């Protein structure tokens, strides 16, 4: 075939392949245009998941009738004039190709009327065929209707999911854009049924609660930080609200919802040890940087961006979220089943003290052999505790009763202590009277060499003994004191080191320290002395993230006084 220039409608169709992937991408482009036009009210109506039609109406600036043909022409935009403008984009759109692309793979009708125009006008692009501008009745603003999407692009249509799934995607797109624009009223209907209604909210928090779900209202921690020209605002969820998928994460950069792996990673880092690795924190974060520090022109659908200071943004987000979590009381409360029962006839019990009065002068629990009291610093003059079933510690605090998993808490405590310690110097080692032999897969000398840097930091002295056997001459004092089986520890260490190849040093180290902490920690079933209980609980106060073990499982759970009072009909 000879080389020739492609006809314009084919060029547009190719461009459409990048911008218009499915109904949700059409909706995204049309809403972005509405927002750029200063709309305060945006309505999206879908029929059959957008496969039959998509309509986006706004009350924005509108398009003057003379400019309608240009609006749907490729590379025509009112948002960028010069190449320099690309270095500081403050609008959602700038590529001037969305409408042209949509009009090449569907029947696109644009009806618009600028606020000061006497009447409206319309134009139609039907799979690349552009009609003429006609007068049309229209309220101020713009209404875009997209029908027969991909009717002539069967390859694309094949990749679409069910109308239900496509509707879900559209809903998410609207949700994310709405999060970034709390003052704009959004409505979405699907086959005539309202699926989303977000009135203009006064505050970002109100909007986020409406979007993320009212049930999360009390579990959202506010984030607010500015550093070196990077600002982060928004909310993150408490650890127990983390989800199995990242659907409850909204990340916006300069008002634009984006997906960015580094930012997701920063969140993950901030929650490390607070949630299980397979779960994803709830988060809505709004990052602001000077537009000149972001390149939004790297992805046709503008959902990915290139950040000039990626590392800085990573650190600012990680630290802001970490700090906010640290400030927050993360002990989850134990929900009690709702009960409806009449209040107890208090006069029968004589005292009739109000709940608050009782709280000031609590009645001590019955003393058993496991109960003791020690003074600790803090709001309350003393803390009472008790070990039950050789597994749990019950502690009283100002908010209620806290149930602590002794193994999980001890594991967390050891993990933090060892990690803090190992950052400075190798862990103290103890010489073993009789070296411990460990069989390994493969060549012992190679295993020892590979393990050496880590072993040194851990206070582990290992050397090859036979072709596939190594000898342990010294082990960390912590493990020896806690009577951990050294051979099984080293076997696990060898396994992990092999599995962790390629991970960075910090991750590998944390993984190993985590294993040590787990092995050395008291187990469920261990009877603790009063002194051990006291030490453990004191550590609980002292360490950061004591609410969760290193794997993210909770170490403790609180039964609040309010819940107890409600449950027993005392409030």
φ/ψ of residue 170, rounded to 5: -60, -45
**Which positions ≥6 away from 449 have C-beta within 8 Å?**
none
One character per residue 27-56, x = contact with Mg ion (rule: CB under 5 A): ------x-----------------------
Report the chain's terminal Cα–Cα distance, integer Å.
85
Residue 63 interaction partner, one of Mg ion, ligand ADP, none, beta carbon < 5-8 Å per kind: ligand ADP
Kindly report the three-state secondary structure assignment for every residue of 311-366.
HHHHHHHHHHHHHHHHHCCCCCECCCCCCCCCCCCHHHHCCCCCHHHHHHCCCCCC
Q: Which is nearer to ligand ADP, 141 or 552 (CB)?
A: 141
Q: Please state, in angstroms and rounded to a whole number, the distance separating the CA atoms of residues 302 and 296.
A: 6
The candidate with the shortest Cα–Cα distance to 33, out of 118, 121, 125, 101, is 101
Answer for which of 43, 53, 65, 77 binds ligand ADP (CB under 6 A) is 77
For Mg ion, the closer CB: 257 or 400: 257
Residues 410-449 that bind ligand ADP (CB under 6 A): none
Q: Name which of 76 and 543 has its Cβ closer to ligand ADP.
A: 76
Question: Of these partners, ligand ADP, Mg ion, none, which one is at the site of residue 60 (CB under 5 to 8 Å by kind)?
Answer: ligand ADP
Alpha-carbon span 66 to 112, nearest angstrom:
11
Beta strand 372-375 pairing with 185-190: unpaired
Write the burial class of residue 240 (CB in 10 Å: 0-12 exposed, 13-18 middle, 19+ buried).
Answer: middle
- Which of 63, 251, 325, 517 binds ligand ADP (CB under 6 A)? It is 63
Residue 22 binding ligand ADP, by CB under 6 A = no
The structure tokens 């009739």 sit at: 352
> To the nearest whole angstrom, how small is the minimum distance from the Cβ of residue 99 to ligand ADP?
4
Q: Which of residues 21 and 29 has its CB atom nearest to ligand ADP in the complex? A: 29
Nearer to ligand ADP, 140 or 213 (CB): 140
Q: Residues 24 to 43: which contact ligand ADP by CB under 6 A?
A: 29, 33-34, 37
Position among 54, 71, 208, 427 found at the interface with ligand ADP (CB under 6 A): 71
Q: Per rule CB under 5 A, is residue 74 in the interface with Mg ion? A: no
**Token pair of 165, please?**
């799934």
The CB-nearest residue to ligand ADP is: 93
Least distance (Å) from Mg ion to the CB of residue 95?
A: 7
Subset of 94-113 contacting ligand ADP (CB under 6 A): 94-100
Q: Using the minimum distance from each CB to ligand ADP, give the nearer residue, 137 or 341.
A: 137
Contact flag: residue 45 with ligand ADP (CB under 6 A): no
Candidates 59-67, 98-106, 359-367, 383-391; binding stretch for Mg ion (CB under 5 A)? 98-106
Task: State which residue, 87 or 505, has the beta carbon closest to ligand ADP.
Answer: 87
DSSP SS3 for 526: coil
Q: Extract the runs of DSSP E, i.e. beta strands, from 89-165.
A: 107-113, 120-126, 129-130, 134-136, 141-147
Residue by residue, DSSP assigns 411-461 as HHHHHHHHHHHHTTSPPPEEEEEEEEEEE-SS-HHHHHHHHHHHHHHHT-E
The candidate with the shortest Cα–Cα distance to 261, out of 202, 197, 305, is 305
Token reading at 245: 């998928």
User: Of 49, 93, 114, 400, which lies in the binding site for Mg ion, with binding defined by CB under 5 A?
Assistant: 93
User: How many chain residues bind ligand ADP (CB under 6 A)?
Assistant: 23
Q: Which is nearer to Mg ion, 175 or 302 (CB)?
A: 302
Chosen from ligand ADP, Mg ion, none, partner binding at 142 (C-beta under 5 to 8 Å by type): ligand ADP
Alpha carbon 504 to its chain centroid, in Å, reads 23
d(CA 46, CA 193): 9
Least gap, CB of 120 to Mg ion (angstroms): 20
Contact (Cβ atoms closer than 8 angstroms) between residue 555 and residue 546: yes
Least separation, in Å, of the C-beta of 151 and ligand ADP?
21
Residues making contact with Mg ion (CB under 5 A): 33, 93, 98
Residues making contact with ligand ADP (CB under 6 A): 29, 33-34, 37, 58, 60-63, 71, 76-79, 93-100, 142
């Amino acid at each position: 075939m000879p080389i020739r220039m492609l006809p314009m409608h084919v060029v547009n169709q190719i461009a459409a392949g990048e911008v218009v992937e499915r109904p949700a991408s059409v909706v995204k482009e049309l809403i972005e245009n509405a927002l750029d036009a200063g709309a305060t009210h945006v309505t999206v109506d879908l029929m059959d998941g957008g496969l039959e039609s998509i309509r986006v109406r706004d009350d924005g600036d509108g398009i003057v009738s003379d400019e309608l043909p240009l609006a749907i022409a490729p590379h025509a935009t009112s948002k960028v004039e010069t190449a320099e403008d690309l270095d500081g984009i403050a609008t959602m759109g700038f590529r001037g190709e969305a409408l042209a692309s949509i009009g090449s793979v569907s029947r696109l009708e644009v009806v618009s009327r600028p606020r000061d125009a006497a009447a409206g006008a319309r134009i139609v692009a039907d799979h690349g065929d552009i009609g003429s501008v006609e007068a049309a009745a229209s309220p101020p603003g713009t209404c875009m209707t997209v029908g027969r999407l991909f009717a002539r692009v069967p390859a694309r249509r094949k990749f679409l999911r069910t109308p239900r799934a496509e509707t879900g995607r559209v809903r998410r797109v609207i949700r994310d854009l709405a999060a970034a624009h709390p003052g704009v009223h959004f409505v979405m209907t699907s086959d005539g049924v309202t699926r989303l209604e977000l009135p203009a909210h006064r505050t970002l928090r109100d909007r986020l609660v409406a979007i993320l779900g009212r049930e999360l209202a009390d579990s959202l921690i506010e984030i607010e930080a500015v550093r070196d020209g990077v600002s982060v605002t928004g909310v993150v969820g408490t650890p127990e609200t983390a989800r199995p998928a990242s659907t409850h994460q909204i990340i916006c950069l300069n008002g634009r919802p984006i997906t960015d792996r580094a930012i997701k990673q920063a969140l993950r880092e901030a929650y490390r040890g607070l949630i299980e690795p397979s779960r994803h924190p709830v988060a809505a974060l709004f990052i602001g940087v000077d537009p000149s520090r972001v390149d939004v022109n790297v992805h046709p659908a503008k959902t990915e961006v290139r950040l000039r200071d990626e590392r800085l943004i990573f650190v600012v987000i990680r630290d802001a979220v970490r700090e906010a979590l640290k400030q927050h009381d993360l002990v989850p409360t134990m929900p009690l089943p709702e009960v409806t029962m009449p209040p107890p006839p208090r006069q029968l019990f004589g005292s009739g003290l109000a709940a608050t009065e009782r709280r000031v002068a609590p009645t001590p629990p019955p003393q058993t052999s496991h109960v003791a009291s020690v003074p600790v610093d803090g709001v309350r003059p003393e803390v009472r505790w008790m070990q039950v079933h050789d597994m749990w510690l019950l502690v009283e605090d100002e908010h209620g009763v806290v149930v602590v998993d002794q193994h999980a808490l001890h594991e967390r405590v050891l993990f933090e202590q060892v990690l803090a310690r190992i950052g400075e110097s190798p862990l103290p080692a103890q010489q073993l009277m009789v070296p411990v032999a460990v069989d390994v897969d493969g060549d012992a000398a190679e295993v020892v060499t590979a393990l050496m840097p880590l072993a040194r930091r851990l206070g582990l002295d290992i050397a090859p003994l036979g072709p596939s056997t190594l000898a342990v001459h010294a082990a960390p004092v912590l493990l020896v004191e806690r009577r951990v089986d050294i051979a099984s520890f080293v076997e696990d260490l060898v396994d992990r080191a092999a599995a962790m190849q390629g991970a960075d040093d910090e991750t590998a180290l944390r993984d190993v320290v985590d294993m040590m902490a787990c092995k050395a920690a008291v187990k469920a079933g261990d009877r603790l002395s009063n002194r051990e209980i006291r030490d453990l609980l004191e550590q609980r106060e002292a360490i950061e993230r004591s609410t969760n073990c290193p794997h993210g499982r909770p170490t403790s759970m609180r039964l609040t006084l309010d819940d107890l009072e409600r449950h027993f009909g005392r409030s």
